[in-house]
Structures are given as structure tokens and as C-alpha cells.
Amino acid sequence: MREKSTGYVVLGILAIGGDLSGYEVRQWIGQAIGFFWSESFGQIYPELKRLAQAKFIRALETGEAARGTKRYRITPAGREELRRWLSRPPRAEHIRNELLLKLFFGAVTGGEIARGFLQEAVRAYEARSKALAAAEALIIRDDRTSDNLVYALMTVRSGQLVYAARLEWARTAIALIDAQEVGGNEAVLRDFVKAARSKSKGN
């Protein structure tokens, strides 16, 4: 949380997305990297102002643009600044998964609640997987000749693999709760080991 990444994200989007307004930057973030990054308007607009002041981006003439739209373009200095930041190793993510947290304390509330959370998670993960498949198709269609192709593909692939894993996990977790209610801890341990074995055989 130390160094503010928002500015660099904006810079990066302008570097690969061309001339964009704050609103469009936000849309880009949601569509292209939304499954692993989010930004709110409350930060994008002040950041655009700051970046313009630092000469890392410059506002284009509003002549062509419709409505009040203000578009920005990255400057060579901005590109250099972006490159510097991108070259530094990424900081470890500070993960905070509230679903896992509430499940971890599941014994306090019981299997009913936990099962409900997991079923909802299954739905969310399925939707996410579908969205990622669609995103992949768009990349393959639109970025065939782009320098960015490899990187766009590898990031969606990351999401696909992770969400597939989560989906599989959520289903086995529901089964584990069922097992516990029917056969107690012994059944849980039996099922747990069995699932692990079939997993490693499948690979």
C-alpha cells in the first residue's frame, strides 16, 4: 500500500489503449484487467490531474470530443516513468478473502450458512469463468498482431486457471460439509484424502 499504483495503471492504460478520457480509462480497467484490478472514479480523476501537472500525460484539445469529454495522451516522459515502475519487482499482494475467512470460522455458525456461501461462490465463479472465456475470444480476435498479445493472453489464462480451480474447490467443499453432517470427522478425512488422490492422478 506504500507506493500509489493508481497513477501507473492510468499511465499503462493510456500507453496501450491510446487517447482516453477518465471515464474510458475506467471502462478499460473494468473490461481488460477487471478480474485482477479495480479503480474508482474518485481516484482516477485526481490522478489524471496530477499526471498532467507532472507532464506524464497531456490533455488533448476538446474540439473533436463530444459532450464534456476530456481525453489525455501519454507523453514520452510518462512512458519512461511507466517503464521504470514496471521494471521494479511487483510487491506481494496483501490478500484478504472474506469468503475464506467466514468459512474458516464456519463452526461458529454451522453448515447451513457455509453451504449457502459456497453455493453463491459457485455461481459467481461460473459467471467469472464465462466472462474470461469471452475476454479471451476478444483478445484473439482483436490483438492478433499486437505486441501485447502474449501478455493479454497470459493474464486471462491466469484468471481462467484460478477460477477453474476455485470452482472445483467450492464444489468439493460443499461435498465435504455434507460428508461431515452424515459421517462426522472420519467421513471428512476419508473424503478429503480421496479427493486429493484423484486430483494428483488426474494430472
Residues of this chain, 157-176, that bind a copy of itself according to CB under 8 A: 157-158, 161-162, 164-166, 168-169, 172-173, 176
How far apart are CB 114 and a copy of itself at their closest, in Å?
7
Our finding on whether 85 is near DNA (CB under 7 A) is: no
Our finding on whether 83 is near a copy of itself (CB under 8 A) is: yes
Q: Which of residues 90-149 bind DNA (CB under 7 A)?
A: 94, 96
Q: Which strands, in side-by-side order, build the sheet including 71-74?
A: 20-21, 71-74, 57-59
Cα–Cα dist 52/184, whole Å: 62
Binding range to a copy of itself, per CB under 8 A, among 20-28, 33-41, 48-56, 63-71: 33-41
- Find the binder of a copy of itself among 15, 20, 51, 57 (CB under 8 A): 15
- Find the binder of a copy of itself among 63, 98, 141, 182 (CB under 8 A): 98
Closest-CA residue to 165 (of 119, 116, 101, 122): 122
CB contact at 8 A, 8 and 88: no
- Cβ-based nearer residue to a copy of itself, 56 or 117: 117
CA distances from 162 to 36, 94, 149, 152, 169 (A): 11, 17, 20, 16, 10
How far apart are CB 3 and DNA at their closest, in Å?
5
Q: Where are the alpha helices (DSSP H) in 105-148?
A: 106-109, 111-142
Closest-CA residue to 39 (of 59, 21, 55, 22): 22
Q: Which of residues 12-41 bind DNA (CB under 7 A)?
A: 21-24, 38-41
Could you list the residues that contact DNA (CB under 7 A)?
1-6, 21-24, 38-43, 45-46, 48-49, 66-71, 94, 96
